[in-house]
């Protein structure tokens, strides 16, 4: 007799359950290492402190900017009246990484070192670059 596959509902993980290899703390814990803040965001990972980078200046809509920081970065960006598109130009048509982002909402993108991005937006663009 062939065995049936496990019931996906009874074997599924649910919020509140401890995942395999994890631990559950019933009381608040004290961080054993300092939390590192970089431009208002917690960026310390296991005590490692990523370097601080200077964001390149913003360019006109659809202009190209190269990540010349020397580090891969997470970029958090928004525009006063919205972002229509974010692309990696050197990857051609397949390089679109984000579509429409409404006004005053933030998009977050990964930008490897020495890679270009182009942001099509309206209004005023603001962004924060964090080394990762």
**Digit-coded pLDDT (tens) for 39-49:** 555 555 555 66
> 116 has which bridge partners?
66
For the whole prediction, is pTM greater than 0.95? Answer: no
| Residue 4: other Cβ atoms inside 10 A | 6
| Residue 87: other Cβ atoms inside 10 A | 20
pLDDT for residue 24 is more than 60: no
Q: How many CA atoms lie within 13 A of 35 on its CB side?
A: 7
pLDDT for residue 118 is more than 50: yes
CA quadruple 88, 89, 92, 96: dihedral sign? positive
Q: Is the domain covering 27-132 a CATH 2.60.98 domain?
A: no
């Amino acid at each position: 007799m062939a065995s049936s596959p496990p019931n996906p509902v009874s074997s599924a993980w649910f919020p509140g359950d401890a995942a395999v290899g994890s631990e559950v703390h019933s009381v608040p814990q004290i961080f054993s290492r300092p939390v590192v803040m970089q431009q208002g965001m917690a960026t310390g990972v296991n005590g490692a402190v990523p370097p601080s980078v200077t964001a390149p200046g913003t360019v006109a809509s659809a202009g190209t900017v190269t990540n010349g920081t020397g580090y891969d970065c997470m970029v958090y960006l928004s525009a006063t009246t919205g972002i229509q598109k974010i692309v990696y130009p050197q990857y051609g048509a397949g390089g679109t990484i984000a579509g429409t982002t409404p006004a005053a909402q933030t998009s977050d993108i990964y930008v490897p070192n020495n890679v270009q991005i182009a942001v099509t937006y309206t209004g005023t663009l603001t962004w924060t670059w964090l080394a990762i």
